[in-house]
Amino acid sequence: MRIADVYKKERPVLSLEVFPPKPGHSLKSVFRTLDNLCDLNPSFVSVTYASQGESTLRTVEIASRVRNEYHCESLAHMTCIGHSKHEVASVLDNLEARGIENVLALRGDMPPDSSCISRDYNFASELIEEIAARDHFCIGAAAYPEGHIESKKISSDLINLRRKVDAGVDFLITQVFFDNRVFYDFRERAQHRNIEIPVIPGIMPILNYKQIKRIVMMCGVSVPAKLLYLFDKYSHDPEDLAKAGVEYAIEQVSDLVEEGVGGIHLYTMNRVPQIREIVFRSGLRKQK
């Protein structure tokens, strides 16, 4: 089913993101995770993409099994930077052959030395145009409530977001944010630019200080005072920080649902008990 149609039928749509194990590791661990996450009956599961070697095949394989074995809709992420047109066409052919209808079309992060990579693509909008021309896929793209880290101005990032939408995007999923006001402001600014497709908040629970610090630094997202307080309070107690992180995510999700968002996309980081707790306690699903 096309994910754009899911957003027309349900509110709030629950989606869960998982990532494939590192190259060289068996896929078993991600399927163990999925055994316990698909049981939550998410409306779709998204599978991240790493552009090196066998990783691309792993995303396609997992997304395909989510659909055919777990009977849950899947969204395959795909990046284009450093890929040739031929490589992109072959990934899309593979997705199409396996009956996958939904793709999250991304540029991907610039490698540290970008001078020696294939420059068939510079921006996600070019990939989106190509996917849209196939007339097979429902297309999602990334949105940045605080602006993409490379953008000098938030306003120019919004212009570029509009370019992606015009190229054929059906829905947007946001980068993580820790203050819901950031999302509400962004949603308004997107509406002023006549972006009328669903804009879905991406929520990442804080389960590990080092991991969050890395993400904050990599993505340039802001950390509100309330969160800094938690980091200080639990600096010597990782378990209590993770518990506080779950509470924080439940508060964020509950507030977003109350404000009428079309869906909640949870960055699960392949963690099961914490995600189940967030889903149940924020009322996204009822515990059987």
In the complex, the residues that contact ligand FAD under the rule CB under 6 A are: 48-49, 77, 79, 104, 106-109, 123-125, 142, 148, 150-151, 157, 160, 163-164, 173, 175, 202
- Would you mind telling me the total number of residues written for the chain in this entry? 288
Q: Shortest distance, CB of residue 138 to ligand FAD, whole angstroms?
A: 15
Catalytic residue among 10, 17, 87, 258: 17
Q: Which helix (H) or strand (E) holds 1?
A: none
Q: Shortest distance, CB of residue 233 to ligand FAD, whole angstroms?
A: 29
| For ligand FAD, the closer CB: 28 or 152 | 152
Output the DSSP codes for 227-263. HHHHHHHTTT-HHHHHHHHHHHHHHHHHHHHHTT-SE
Q: Shortest distance, CB of residue 170 to ligand FAD, whole angstroms?
A: 14
| For ligand FAD, the closer CB: 123 or 184 | 123
| For ligand FAD, the closer CB: 29 or 156 | 156
d(CA 187, CA 196): 10
| For ligand FAD, the closer CB: 73 or 157 | 157
DSSP 10: -
User: Dihedrals φ, ψ of 110, to 5°?
Assistant: -65, 130
Identify the burial level of 33 via C-beta atoms within 10 angstroms of its C-beta, where 0-12 means exposed, 13-18 middle and 19 or more buried.
buried
- Cβ–Cβ under 8 Å, residues 285 and 40: yes
Q: Shortest distance, CB of residue 30 to ligand FAD, whole angstroms?
A: 14
Could you tell me the sign of the dihedral formed by the alpha carbons of 275, 278, 281, 285, in that order?
negative
Helix extents (H) in the chain: 3-9, 28-37, 55-68, 85-97, 124-134, 154-168, 180-192, 209-219, 225-233, 238-258, 273-281
Q: Shortest distance, CB of residue 100 to ligand FAD, whole angstroms?
A: 14
Identify the burial level of 209 via C-beta atoms within 10 angstroms of its C-beta, where 0-12 means exposed, 13-18 middle and 19 or more buried.
middle
Give SS3 for 43.
coil
| For ligand FAD, the closer CB: 128 or 244 | 128
d(CA 211, CA 183): 22
Establish whether 258 is a catalytic residue. Answer: no
Q: Shortest distance, CB of residue 145 to ligand FAD, whole angstroms?
A: 10
Give SS3 for 47.
strand
| For ligand FAD, the closer CB: 37 or 176 | 176
**Residues with a known catalytic role:** 17
